[in-house]
Structure 1
């Protein structure tokens, strides 16, 4: 299972600093949506230039013009981009077409999908995405009683390649691996740590056991 770090900061210098701290211990560097909106698509190029040996994930959360937006990210150096799993199927197909053109990967982000999530995961998987990200956003995670377990159960039931984002930390990453995820996405467990590099190293150790 690969480990992805969400660079959920708001400016490029902070993103580069965080990437430098953790890159040794992670497989995928994700530019979070707020970072892309704040710093622009050029931030993708900057992260890729600084870490050419890492996969760079542009979390665009595309909702329309899938082929166009995916192409923008791929041309900037992204290896993976996200398209929303809730959108029109043709938007997803467009992003996938761009992925095929550039030899890159498209990920369907299921944030906001709760009812019928397993069925929708299976539908979007058939549209050609590389894998599906089963994702609980920060607002959902902040609700009382939130648990990562439902994400894991939906991943098991869907039976397609998936990643998990939303509450991945040292005490849950083992369960993410056992559920069969291809990627575990960690955000706050790394960037809120006193030593992000050490936090990433510990997560990576649990991801690969």
Structure 2
């Protein structure tokens, strides 16, 4: 299972600093949506230039104009781009078409999809995305009673390649791996740690052992 770090910071210098600290311990560097909105698409180029050996994941959360927005990110150096799983099928198809053109991957982000999530995961998988990200956002995670187990259950049931994002920590990442996820996405567990490099190394160990 690969480890993805969400660079959920708001400026490029902070993102580059965090990426430099953790890169050796992770497989995928994710530019979070707020970072892209704050720093712009040029941040993608900067992160890829600094870490050409890493996959760069751009969380655009595209809800319309799928082919156009995905192409913007791919041209800037992205290896993976997200489109909203809740978007119109043609938006997903458009992003996938851009992915084929550039030889890159599109991920369907299932954030906001709570009703019939397994059904929608299977539907978007058939539209050609590389995998689906079963994602509980920060707001959902903050609500009482949130548990990552719901995401894992849906991933196991859907039967298609998936990643998990939703407050993964050292004590839950093994369960993510055991559920069959291809990628585990960690954010706060790394960037809020006293030593992000140590936190990333520990998570990577649990992801692969």
Q: TM exceeds 0.5? A: yes
Task: Give a deviation string over 1:106-157, Cα, whole Å, max 9, x none.
Answer: 0000001111000000000000000000000000000001000000000000
Corresponding residue of 2:24: 24
List runs of 5+ in structure 2 lacking aligned partners.
none
Alignment of 1:44-123 (within 5 A): 44-123=44-123
Task: Give a deviation string over 1:60-93, Cα, whole Å, max 9, x none.
Answer: 0000000000000000000000000001000000
C-alpha distance in structure 1 between counterparts of 2:8 and 2:49, whole Å: 19
Corresponding residue of 2:138: 138
C-alpha distance in structure 2 between counterparts of 1:120 and 1:170, whole Å: 29
Task: Give a deviation string over 1:166-206, Cα, whole Å, max 9, x none.
Answer: 02110000000000000000000000000000000000000
Where 1:145 maps in the other structure, the secondary structure is coil
Aligned length: 209
C-alpha distance in structure 1 between counterparts of 2:43 and 2:132, whole Å: 24
Where 1:21 maps in the other structure, the secondary structure is helix
The two structures, once aligned, show a CA RMSD in angstroms of 0.3
User: What displacement does 1:100 show?
Assistant: 0.2
Runs of 4+ in 1 over 3 A off after TM superposition: none
List runs of 5+ in structure 1 lacking aligned partners.
none
Matched, 1:180 2:180: yes
C-alpha distance in structure 1 between counterparts of 2:156 and 2:115, whole Å: 16
C-alpha distance in structure 1 between counterparts of 2:99 and 2:51, whole Å: 21
